Amino acid sequence: MGHRVSSDRIIIVGAGLGALYAALCLAPRPVVLLTPTPLGFGASSAWAQGGVAAAMAVADSPSLHADDTIRAGAGTVDPAIAAQVTEAARNHIRALTDLGTPFDRDSQGGYVLSREAAHSLARVVRVQGDQAGKAIMEALIARVRATPSIQVLTGVLATGLVTEGPRVTGVEVMRVSPSRSIPVALEGPAVLLAGGGSGGLYARTTNPAPIRGQVMGLAARAGAQMADMEFVQFHPTAIDCGEDPVPLATEALRGEGAVLVNRHGARFMIDAHPEAELAPRDVVARAVFAEVQAGNRPALDTRAAIGAALPERFPAVAAACARAGIDPLTQPIPVTPAAHYHMGGVATDARGRASLDGLWICGEAAATGLHGANRLASNGLLEALVFAATIAGDLGVELAPVADAPEVALPDTGPAPAPDPQAITDLRETMSNHVGVLRTADGLQQALTRIADLEAAQSEVPDVVNMTATASLIAAAAFQRTETRGSHARTDFPDPDPAQAQRSFLTLNDARTLTRALAKDTA
């Protein structure tokens, strides 16, 4: 790598909720945020329709919230982390309010709380029905722009980590336009990866298009320990209208009484689970997927429960239906499961530290132990907030104070190879077909082989190699978990195995070793 740029700024990769909140919590310490897209675009946080889960009600408590989180996580949640996150939740709702987030309030000024699936009572703080993520992000972006210690470098892609021995010393970056560039080593006192999940590795996802597991992948390629990679949450009710990404029919619609029906008008969730439409997400996703596979065209019927109030109460859903030519006031909304949230990621400790020195992770790219095998609704934004603040505090203790640092200036460099669109399409179809809602040993083996082939063909393209690293980790972890638990369903092992009720840990090396071993077996 020819170019090196050194800075006293903490390097933050990403521009979603975790990245922005960490930068604000670190202020006035100088940081630089790296993002391929302008602020507010390309971050899953801005698309979050639910809200933030927090025990704000008089009848509620952090310990009840932790109990629900542990129950939803199907035996693999770290109870200490659940306690840590739920305990901190209330303070972060107040902090976001102080930063200007217009949470829905009642006439007495109390927070309006909604109930979502698998919560024992209403504890989700919202903004205008389905606008929470967008509103929180707008408030944070305004504050970030007004904070002199935060430099935002847009149009910059993180392609790898710079290491010296076991320590991470910086990030390898490339410019996104006008054409991909030669990597530059940007070195700094610490690196925080907050660059989102991996939903875009699947053909049908609710995540913004650029988010394809690259940030997890670049940590894995540097040797970081990964955890819980097999646990990918599929949102059961994405609107099946041919858009990529797929728009979301928020779970709140089912919370308000909307029902799932197939093309025969039958409510198939009644036999599937005692809670019917409000069963845990994995149960609903599998039932919806089974209807898709049977050609029964599942759909969400909001007519009786919400009716004419839908456009006003759920503007994002109404807009997506309008674009697709669906009229939810007169017909059910066609739905399909779509990759929504990755419970797994880079393994971190309670302070947000990865297994490599000098590296911290927060948000969806992290596996903190909070979500287990199934994320509880609206705990995703909460985890990003709590760990962003925790990491900011840890960095404050770990690093000598720096009052000021010049802005980072990256050199202009020539073009580098762009991903082959067909390779990306192949990767996404492979993941949806074999590493999706339902999995088998045979399908996962095919996926690992195909991912390795795609990686070999695109080995000169860092963006793709980061994607395939994450894809192979998901498939390898899914192959090794010979049971069905939470979001991970093996049709060849349909039951949970109590002996496997624990978190899974592996490295990219482990996944590659498994791929080679399976290739030998079939040769």
- Mean pLDDT of the 396-419 span: 85
Grade residue 280 by pLDDT with cuts at 50, 70 and 90. confident
Joined tokens for residue 485: 């638990």
DSSP 8-state class, residue 356: S
Q: How far apart are CA 134 and CA 218, in angstroms?
A: 28
Q: How far apart are CA 200 and CA 198, in angstroms?
A: 6
Render 37-58 in DSSP notation, one character per residue. S-TTSS-GGGG--S-EE---ST
Note the pLDDT of residue 301: 97
* 469 Cβ neighbours under 8 A, 6+ residues apart: 213, 216, 217, 218, 220, 221, 455, 508
Note the pLDDT of residue 371: 96
Please identify which residue in the block is written with the tokens 């922005």: 20
DSSP 8-state class, residue 198: -
DSSP 8-state class, residue 411: P
Tell me if 428 sits within 8 A of 434, measured CB to CB: no
Note the pLDDT of residue 141: 96
Is pLDDT above 80 for 372? Answer: yes
DSSP 8-state class, residue 482: -
Grade residue 414 by pLDDT with cuts at 50, 70 and 90. low
* 516 Cβ neighbours under 8 A, 6+ residues apart: none
Going by DSSP bridges, is the β-strand pair 505-506/156-164 parallel, antiparallel, or unpaired? unpaired
Candidates 435, 368, 40; CA nearest to 199 is 435
Give pLDDT tens digits for 428-446.
Answer: 999 999 999 999 999 999 9
- Mean pLDDT of the 280-284 span: 86
Note the pLDDT of residue 412: 79
Angle subtended at Cα 257 by Cα 110 and Cα 487, rounded to the nearest 5 degrees: 90
Which residues make up the CATH 1.20.58.100 domain(s) of the chain?
A: 421-522
Neighbour tally for 262: CB within 10 Å: 19
- Mean pLDDT of the 413-425 span: 80
End-to-end CA distance of the chain: 38
Higher per-residue confidence, 115 vs 322:
322
Q: What radius of gyration, in Å, describes the C-alpha atoms of the chain?
A: 22
Q: How far apart are CA 384 and CA 16, in angstroms?
A: 9
Q: How far apart are CA 25 and CA 8, in angstroms?
A: 17
| 351 flagged as catalytic | no
Joined tokens for residue 14: 């990403």
Indicate the angle between helix axes 441-457 and 421-434, nearest 10 degrees.
170
Which residues make up the CATH 3.90.700.10 domain(s) of the chain?
A: 237-338
Residue of 9, 180, 281, 286 with catalytic role: 281
Minimum mean pLDDT range among 11-15, 53-57, 358-362, 476-480: 53-57
- What SS3 class is residue 340? strand
Is pLDDT above 90 for 281? Answer: no
Residue type, 210: P
- Mean pLDDT across the chain: 93
CATH top-level class for 237-338?
alpha beta
Minimum mean pLDDT range among 53-57, 159-163, 279-283: 279-283
Grade residue 196 by pLDDT with cuts at 50, 70 and 90. very high
Grade residue 183 by pLDDT with cuts at 50, 70 and 90. confident
Give pLDDT tens digits for 89-127.
Answer: 999 999 999 999 999 999 999 999 888 777 888 899 988
CATH: 1.20.58.100, 3.40.50.300, 1.10.287.3510, 3.40.1080.10. Which one for 421-522? 1.20.58.100
* Strands, sheet with 299-301, edge to edge from the N-terminal-most edge strand: 232-239, 333-342, 299-301, 259-261
* 24 Cβ neighbours under 8 A, 6+ residues apart: 99, 140, 143, 144, 147, 150
Grade residue 178 by pLDDT with cuts at 50, 70 and 90. low
* 203 Cβ neighbours under 8 A, 6+ residues apart: 425, 428, 429, 431, 432
DSSP 8-state class, residue 504: -
- Mean pLDDT of the 25-41 span: 94
Angle subtended at Cα 301 by Cα 295 and Cα 305, rounded to the nearest 5 degrees: 160
Q: How far apart are CA 89 and CA 55, in angstroms?
A: 7
- What SS3 class is residue 15? coil
Candidates 143, 163, 162, 161; CA nearest to 152 is 143
Minimum mean pLDDT range among 17-26, 208-217, 409-418: 409-418
Note the pLDDT of residue 417: 61
